[in-house]
């Protein structure tokens, strides 16, 4: 679905922001890309929808090479991008106009346009918000309207580049829930984040460092590599650290990336021990 093959990219001709990236993203998967500031996350994101083209190697999206200008339109309309700042993404003052903006540009006729807007707003939990003003929304709601605008174009892939970075915990949770639901309905989600907890919800996690993929695997595997993650200056979520340390101390626990799983496993163990 998305393939990076030996991708290199430089902004200034000196330093590689992407330095030999190989990445394969399966259709229908929920992928999380983690990495510190300047590790190349946004540069990678922009390669997925041909906003940037590789200086070396190839990026293929839905079997089409991003480097061929003939593919740009197809790729952009199939790989929706949501960025960090909610206020930078909304183009119209009325929500329905904002959500309709993308598909209207794709030439979708009026009656279908209205259906798409209604359906997209429903999918992000904002049904009935058509006539509301975008200015009146919370940050989290704005990001969900931005996602609705992408959904209305019916893309197969949604890329979120630190889309939750400016949201409060409630806004972040709402955004994550929407992404999970979209993924369950078949959409491929690429979530780029520096929040380690968000990685816990993914099928596969890739960690970027200095423009290279430093670590890939399930959240349990990646977040369990505590020493490597620390070397990369990345925080380990509480549950992952505790389960890692308890395992190192010899307790028969699984590696957990969320607190509920850890608590259940620990209670099972403690109750078992008390019998």
Ligand X SMILES: Nc1ncnc2c1ncn2[C@@H]1O[C@H](COP(=O)(O)OP(=O)(O)O)[C@@H](O)[C@H]1O
Query: Which residues here bind Mg ion, judged by CB under 5 A?
Result: 41-42
Q: Give the nearest distance from C-beta 40 to ligand X in angstroms.
A: 4
The binder of 76, among Mg ion, ligand X, none, by C-beta within 5 to 8 A per type, is: none
* Interface mask toward ligand X for 56-95; x: CB under 6 A: ----------------------------------------
Report if residue 39 touches ligand X, rule: CB under 6 A: yes
Q: Give the nearest distance from C-beta 162 to Mg ion in angstroms.
A: 6
Report if residue 43 touches ligand X, rule: CB under 6 A: yes
- Tell me the C-alpha distance between 166 and 40, whole Å: 19
The binder of 39, among ligand X, Mg ion, none, by C-beta within 5 to 8 A per type, is: ligand X
The binder of 38, among Mg ion, ligand X, none, by C-beta within 5 to 8 A per type, is: ligand X
- Tell me the C-alpha distance between 70 and 66, whole Å: 9
Q: Give the nearest distance from C-beta 180 to Mg ion in angstroms.
A: 22
Number of H-type helices and E-type strands within the chain: 12, 10
- Tell me the C-alpha distance between 163 and 82, whole Å: 6
The gap from C-alpha 230 to its chain's centroid, in whole angstroms, comes to 22
Among 6, 11, 233, 245, binds ligand X (CB under 6 A): 11
With CB atoms as reference, the residue minimizing the distance to Mg ion is 42
Among 14, 37, 260, 275, binds ligand X (CB under 6 A): 37
**CB-nearer residue toward Mg ion: 50 or 137:** 50
Q: Is the dihedral of CA 205, 210, 211, 212 positive or negative?
A: negative
Report if residue 17 touches ligand X, rule: CB under 6 A: yes
**Residue 256 neighbours by CB under 8 Å, 6+ apart:** 220, 239, 240, 242, 243, 262, 265
- Tell me the C-alpha distance between 86 and 140, whole Å: 8
Among 31, 41, 76, 99, binds ligand X (CB under 6 A): 41
**CB-nearer residue toward Mg ion: 142 or 194:** 194
Which part of the chain contacts ligand X (CB under 6 A), choosing from 36-44, 50-58, 227-235, 257-265?
36-44
The gap from C-alpha 271 to its chain's centroid, in whole angstroms, comes to 38
- Tell the burial category of 88 from Cβ atoms under 10 Å away from its Cβ (0-12, 13-18, 19+): exposed
204-232 b/e (C-beta count within 10 Å ≥ 16 → b): bbbbbbbbbbbbbeebbebbbbbeebeeb
Q: 205 and 223 in contact (C-beta within 8 Å)?
A: yes
- Tell me the C-alpha distance between 188 and 62, whole Å: 11
Q: Give the nearest distance from C-beta 266 to ligand X in angstroms.
A: 35
**Best CA proximity match to 163, nearest among 149, 185, 147, 151:** 147
Q: Give the nearest distance from C-beta 208 to ligand X in angstroms.
A: 7
Q: 227 and 267 in contact (C-beta within 8 Å)?
A: no
Q: How many residues bind ligand X (CB under 6 A)?
A: 11
Q: Give the nearest distance from C-beta 118 to ligand X in angstroms.
A: 34
The binder of 11, among Mg ion, ligand X, none, by C-beta within 5 to 8 A per type, is: ligand X
Please report, as ranges, the residues that interact with ligand X according to CB under 6 A.
11-12, 17, 35, 37-43
């Amino acid at each position: 679905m998305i393939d990076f093959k030996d991708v290199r990219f430089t902004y200034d001709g000196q330093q590689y922001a992407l330095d030999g990236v190989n990445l394969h993203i399966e259709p229908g998967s929920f992928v999380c890309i983690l990495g510190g500031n300047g590790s190349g996350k946004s540069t990678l994101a922009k390669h997925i929808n041909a906003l940037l083209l590789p200086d070396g190697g190839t990026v293929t999206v839905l079997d089409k090479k991003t480097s061929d200008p003939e593919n740009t339109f197809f790729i952009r309309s199939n790989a929706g991008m949501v960025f960090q700042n909610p206020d930078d993404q909304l183009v119209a003052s009325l929500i329905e106009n904002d959500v309709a903006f993308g598909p209207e540009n794709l030439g979708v006729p009026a009656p279908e346009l209205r259906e798409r807007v209604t359906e997209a707003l429903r999918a992000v939990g904002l049904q009935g918000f058509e006539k509301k003003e975008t200015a009146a929304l919370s940050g989290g709601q704005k990001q969900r309207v931005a996602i609705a605008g992408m959904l209305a174009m019916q893309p197969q892939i949604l890329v979120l580049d630190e889309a939750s970075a400016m949201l409060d915990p409630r806004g972040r949770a709402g955004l994550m829930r929407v992404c999970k639901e979209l993924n369950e309905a078949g959409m491929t989600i690429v979530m780029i984040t520096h929040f380690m907890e968000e990685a816990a919800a993914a099928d596969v996690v890739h960690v970027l460092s200095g423009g290279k993929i430093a670590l890939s695997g399930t959240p349990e595997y990646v977040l369990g590599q505590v020493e490597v993650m620390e070397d990369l200056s990345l925080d380990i979520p509480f549950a992952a650290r505790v389960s890692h340390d308890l395992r190192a101390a010899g307790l028969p626990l699984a590696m957990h990336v969320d607190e509920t799983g850890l608590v259940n496993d620990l209670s099972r163990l403690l109750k078992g021990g008390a019998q």
